[in-house]
């Protein structure tokens, strides 16, 4: 049986390729982001393990850059950490979205400041 010329082509003819990201580069970048966000203390490993419902040994490997979190755990970490989210956006070459993350962080800080001002004025 031969294929017709109308069959779907599975290869790109444009010659474009996905940019390569080595697993070690991903692991090292996420390890740095974890340390910046949560610190490099043993209690930080426990905190992240509780957030992701993961084994502490596995989380320690994330902090050491030996392994990367699974996709499920990475999504959980991105929910709780702007630094992890920024790192993933940077690695995926989506720097345009990093501005939105920064604005969201500024909004949260502004809400905190306004709440503190209200407490001082009211009390």
pLDDT value at residue 116:
86
Q: Does residue 1 have a pLDDT over 70?
A: no
pLDDT digits (tens, 9 = 90+) for 58-93: 999 999 999 999 999 999 999 999 899 999 999 988
Please tell me the distance from the alpha carbon of residue 25 to that of residue 1, in angstroms, as a whole number: 45
Cα angle 23-61-41, degrees, rounded to a multiple of 5: 130
Burial 20-41 (b: 16+ CB within 10 A, else e): eeeeeebbebbbebbbebbeee
Position of tokens 């697993």? 23
What band does 16 get if pLDDT is binned at 50, 70 and 90? low
pLDDT value at residue 11:
57
Please tell me the distance from the alpha carbon of residue 37 to that of residue 108, in angstroms, as a whole number: 16
Please tell me the distance from the alpha carbon of residue 91 to that of residue 25, in angstroms, as a whole number: 9
Please tell me the distance from the alpha carbon of residue 17 to that of residue 95, in angstroms, as a whole number: 20
What backbone phi and psi angles, to 5 degrees, belong to 105? -65, -40
pLDDT value at residue 123:
60
């Amino acid at each position: 049986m031969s294929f017709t010329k109308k069959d779907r082509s599975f290869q790109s003819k444009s010659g474009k390729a996905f940019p390569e990201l080595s697993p070690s580069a991903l692991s090292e970048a996420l390890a740095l982001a974890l340390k910046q966000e949560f610190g490099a203390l043993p209690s930080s490993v426990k905190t992240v393990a509780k957030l992701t419902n993961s084994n502490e040994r596995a989380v320690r490997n994330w902090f050491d850059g030996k392994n990367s979190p699974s996709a499920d755990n990475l999504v959980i970490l991105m929910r709780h950490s702007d630094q992890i989210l920024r790192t993933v956006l940077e690695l995926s070459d989506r720097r345009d979205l990093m501005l939105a993350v920064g604005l969201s962080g500024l909004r949260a800080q502004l809400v905190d400041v306004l709440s503190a001002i209200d407490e001082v004025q009211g009390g």
